[in-house]
Structure 1
Amino acid sequence: MSEKVIVIYSGGMDSFTVLNHVIREGKKPIALSFNYGQRHKKELDYAKRACEMLSVPHKVVDISAINSLVGGSALTDDIAVPEGHYEEPSMQQTVVPNRNMILISLAVGYAVSQQANAVYYGAHSGDHAIYPDCRPEFVQKMKDVCAIANYEKVDVVTPYLQDSKTAILADGLKMGLDYSYTWTCYNGRAKACGRCGACEERLEAFKDNNAIDPLKYE
């Protein structure tokens, strides 16, 4: 019998690769997406399309009310999305306070209710500089607390924690994945902007892999 797991699924490149990685490991994933008021919620439409294509159960939860508590990010408030590389200090404006702790906690609760024994999410090394909740020490602490927070132990798994976006894409291309099913841009417009940190890192990963990004850019 396949092992049931929850995949926190944003609809972006990293979570798309994680989801397919889980499937190829023979596990039975449930994709869990959150509407937390992000301006790039277009990614949720891409998440839906990908899950339909993969025949993966997909649950979308609206938690946008939390913005009254954890505002102040360019991803959720009326603040201009900074342009430039992820590692530039300006990218700190895209940090949503406590986002991953909140999402992982909810996903673990869902895992217990679904009798799933793990929660996967797509943290990677390119996020370490700006996002504290994607760093190895955060992941380890979450693993520790989620092992004792319920009667049932739930593991927190980050298969690409030490890998770059370039390496994640390389693994996905090796799996033959179609990245037209993903959305990365922080701006939720008709086409990707090509200038925000998320777009820059995505384009850099495709260039490093000598591959062509299937998304259209402004």
Structure 2
Amino acid sequence: MFEKVVVIFSGGMDSYTVLNHALKQGYDVHALTFDYGQRHVKEIEYAKNACEELNVHHKIVDISAINSIIAGSSLTDNIDIPEGHYEAETMQSTVVPNRNMILLSLAVGYAVSLKATKVFYGAHSGDHAIYPDCRPEFVKRMQDVCAIANYDAVDIVVPYLHSDKIEILADGLNMKLDYNKTWTCYNGREKACGKCGACQERLEAFEKNNMTDPLEYEA
């Protein structure tokens, strides 16, 4: 029997790389995607399609009801998505309160029910300045808690915690991954906007790797 693991899979390029990283390591991967009311819900369709193509167990869970108690993020509320490169002052509006703690807690519960030993998620160093729940100290404490929260310990695995998006993309390109199968834009329109912080960071990663992003952009 292969070792079971859960991968939190948004459908974005970071989690797509994590998913394939886990598959390359020979794990029996169970992907878990959350609909938390994000305006870029289009990423869920990309997650579904990727898992079907990879023949990966995939569960999509609707937790959008949490928006009745968690508000104030431009990703879930009627607040303009900031444009331009990732900067702490502008991008803080994209923070969804306590999101990763909530998602990790649910993923760990799922892992315990599956008798899976690990939960993977795609935090990386480019997120550290803006998102507190992507920082090494947060990960360390979640690892400590998840080791004792159930009768069966679950390890939180963050393979790219100390890598930036440029390095993550480089690893994915080495794995011959097709990033046209991922969605990054914070706006859920037909094409990626090319202007929000997520698009800007993605485009920069491709440029630094001397590659052209295969995704179609509005501009």
For structure 2, the residue ranges without an aligned partner over 5 or more in a row are none
| 3-state SS of paired residue (1:151) | coil
Runs of 5+ consecutive residues of structure 1 not aligned to the other structure:
none
Alignment match, 2:56: 56
Give the TM-score normalised by the residue count of structure 1: 0.99
Alpha-carbon distance between aligned partners in 2 of 1:90 and 1:38, rounded to the nearest angstrom:
18
1:40-55 to structure 2, matched below 5 A, reads: 40-55=40-55
**Separation (CA, whole Å) in 2 of partners of 1:192 and 1:198:** 10
Structure 1 CA distance for aligned equivalents of residues 86 and 92 of structure 2 = 9
Q: 3-state DSSP class of the match of 1:212?
A: coil
What letter corresponds to residue 76 of structure 1 in structure 2? T
Q: Please state how far the C-alpha of 1:87 moved relative to its aligned partner.
A: 2.6
Name the structure 2 match of 1:184. 184
Secondary structure of the corresponding residue to residue 216 of structure 1: coil
- Aligned position for 1:164: 164
Percent pairwise identity:
71
Q: CA deviation at 1:89?
A: 1.0
Distance 1:42 1:50 in 2: 13
Matching residue of 2:36: 36
Q: Report SS of the residue matched to 1:30.
A: strand
Amino acid at match of 1:198: A
Structure 2 residue matching 1:7: 3-state secondary structure: strand
Q: How far off is 1:54 after superposition?
A: 0.4
How far off is 1:88 after superposition? Answer: 3.7
Q: CA RMSD in A?
A: 0.5
**Other-structure match for 1:198:** 198
Distance 2:88 2:160 in 1: 22
The equivalent of 2:211 in structure 1 is 211
- CA distance in structure 2 between the partners assigned to 1:48 and 1:153 by the alignment: 28
Aligned to 1:105: 105
Q: Deviations over 1:148-200 (max 9, x none)?
A: 00000000000000000000000000000000110000000000000100000
Instruction: Give the match for residue 95 of structure 2.
Output: 95
Number of equivalences = 218
1:212 to partner: Cα distance: 1.1
Output the CA distance in 2 between the equivalents of 1:29 and 1:83: 35
Task: Map 1:69-148 to 2 at 5 A.
Answer: 69-148=69-148
Which runs of at least 4 in structure 1 moved beyond 3 Å after TM superposition? none
Matched position secondary structure for 2:30: strand
The amino acid across from 1:159 in the alignment is P
For 1:45 and 1:192, the matched residues in 2 are separated by 14
**C-alpha distance in 2, partners of 1:23/1:146?**
23
Find the aligned partners of 2:71 and 2:8 in 1 and give their Cα distance: 21
Aligned residue identity for 2:195: R
> 1:84 offset after TM fit, Å?
1.4
